[in-house]
Amino acid sequence: MPTSPVPTVREAMRHVYDASLWRHGPRSGRRRHPRHRPVVGSKASLVIFDKDGTLICFNEMWTPWVTDLVRGLEQKTGLALREKIFTDLGYDHAASKWRSGLMAEATMAQVRDQLKTRLQQEGLSATDSNRTVDSVWEDTTSVSRKQVKPLDDPSTLFKLLRDVGVKVAVCTSDSRAATQQCLREMAAEPFIDLLVCGDDPNTEPKPSGHNALLICRALGVRPTEAVVVGDTLADMGMGRSAELGATVAVLTGVGGVDDLTPQADHVVPSIKHVLRLVAPEYRL
């Protein structure tokens, strides 16, 4: 049971209204110096969005996919694997929801490795585990990645950000092929300046700051003028590791206020609150 009460939306939103927090960064230490260098002016130059749980519904995207994957593995092996694999990947059976874990934070290669490890733990040889996972993986990947349910309206938000001079990037652990399909279905592709995916060469899994710095460099933006928006501690960790101007947590994915607050400079209910945060002068 959680030790603190669930915060109200008003409490979760309190950071949004603290304009000085954005301008000067969260304070720390006895002299209350900003923890980050102040963002130049009051507007961000770049927003780096996570995908799953931030732009699209995590549960509708991944629960059917994992279900199909488990069904395939059970058929091939004759083993009962559903509960163990869902647990391995970060599903909380008691709460009937996904939590922070491999499915929410890891690359697809890391998820695939975990499945192979699980089959070995169930008694299969390394060779049989690899062969089984590889064959089921291909079948599943090709059929069930169409469960895209956008959260709020990502394409409209991206367009508004671009209109006010804020660049937009998406940094996800998912594969490039699946991510491009997802963004195309949301009609968001034309408004994205850069996309970095988990299977791109020369990238590193979150919470490394590597991908965020890569994006800043490619788009000619100083890290302190960039913001990361995501639903997990891995997203916040990437922002902190890269020393971005701010980390913004949304509550539409796997992370809760209690999980995210220690690493998030701002906690907001969803991405529709991001525009006001990163471009305070802008009025709809």
Binding residues (CB under 5 A) for Mg ion: these are: 50, 52-53, 231, 253
CB of 20 to Mg ion, least distance (A): 28
Cis peptide before 207 (omega within 30 of 0): yes
Closest approach, Cβ 53 to Mg ion, in A, equals: 4
Q: Cβ closer to Mg ion: 132 or 232? A: 232
Q: How many CA atoms lie within 13 A of 120 on its CB side?
A: 11
Cα separation, 260 vs 234, whole angstroms: 10
Closer residue to Mg ion, CB minimum distance, 21 or 182: 182
- Judged by beta carbon, residue 50 or residue 265, the one nearer Mg ion is 50
Number of residue whose CB is nearest Mg ion: 53
Closest to Mg ion by CB, 245 vs 255, is 255
- Residue 6 to residue 257: CA distance in whole angstroms: 8
| 53/237 with CB nearer Mg ion | 53
CB of 142 to Mg ion, least distance (A): 23
Least distance from C-beta 67 to Mg ion, angstroms?
19
Rounded to a whole number of angstroms, the minimum distance from the CB of residue 101 to Mg ion is 11
* Amino acid identity at 105: E
Q: Quote the least distance from Cβ 280 to Mg ion, whole Å.
A: 25
Burial class (CB in 10 A: 0-12, 13-18, 19+), 220: exposed
Angle in degrees, CA 55, 16, 217, rounded to 5: 55
Query: How far apart are the C-alpha atoms of 87 and 105, rounded to whole Å?
Result: 14
Query: Given the complex with Mg ion, which of 225 and 231 has the nearer CB atom?
Result: 231
Least separation in angstroms between residue 24's CB and Mg ion is: 28
Report the residue number, 50 or 225, with the smaller CB distance to Mg ion.
50
Q: What is the DSSP string of 66-130?
A: HHHHHHHHHHHH----HHHHHHHTTEETTTTEE-SSHHHHS-HHHHHHHHHHHHHHTT--HHHHH
- Per-residue burial over 71-94, b if 16 or more Cβ lie within 10 Å, else e, is ebbeebbeeebeeebbebbbbeee
Closest CA to 97 of 86, 82, 84, 111: 86
- Please say which residue, 50 or 193, places its beta carbon nearer to Mg ion: 50
DSSP string, 138-166: HHHHHHS-----BSS-HHHHHHHHHHTT-
CB of 33 to Mg ion, least distance (A): 31
